[in-house]
Amino acid sequence: MPSILTPSIDFLIKQLHLKGTEKILDLACGFGRHSLEFARRGYDVTGIDITPAYIDYANEQAKKENLNAKFICQDIRTITFDKEFDVVLNMADGAIGYLEDDGENHKIFLSLRKH
């Protein structure tokens, strides 16, 4: 049975011209709904969120479904990957735009350039 997320994931795949081999970074992933759906379709996904309970849940789901997805509990302003991803997403409400001020939001974009 299709997920409620199927239309939005289909839209992203089409608009971003994804082939299925891309590595995806999902910022402020929450419970990992979008990340898990991408992983179900064969993408290699990493989700980042600051809330431990969300990350625990997402990792449990990925393990239960044997998906190629990992979830890390971290503030998205402090991630330190180095050119590891083909696509960076911030879905649903995400965190960008909700931080203390524009300077804090800008830190995320500066960090994203590296990933």
**Which residues are 69's β-sheet partners?**
45
20-112: CATH topology is Rossmann fold (3.40.50)
For the stretch 26-67, pLDDT in tens is: 988 999 999 999 999 999 999 999 999 999 999 999 999 999
Closest among 5, 75, 74, 76 to 39, alpha carbons compared? 5
Q: Would you list the domain boundaries of the chain?
A: 20-112
Between residues 12 and 95, which one has the greater pLDDT? 12
| CA–CA separation, 93 and 14 (whole Å) | 21
For the stretch 60-102, pLDDT in tens is: 999 999 999 999 999 887 888 777 899 988 886 655 555 566 6
- Beta-carbon neighbour count of residue 33 at 10 Å? 20
pTM, entire model: 0.82
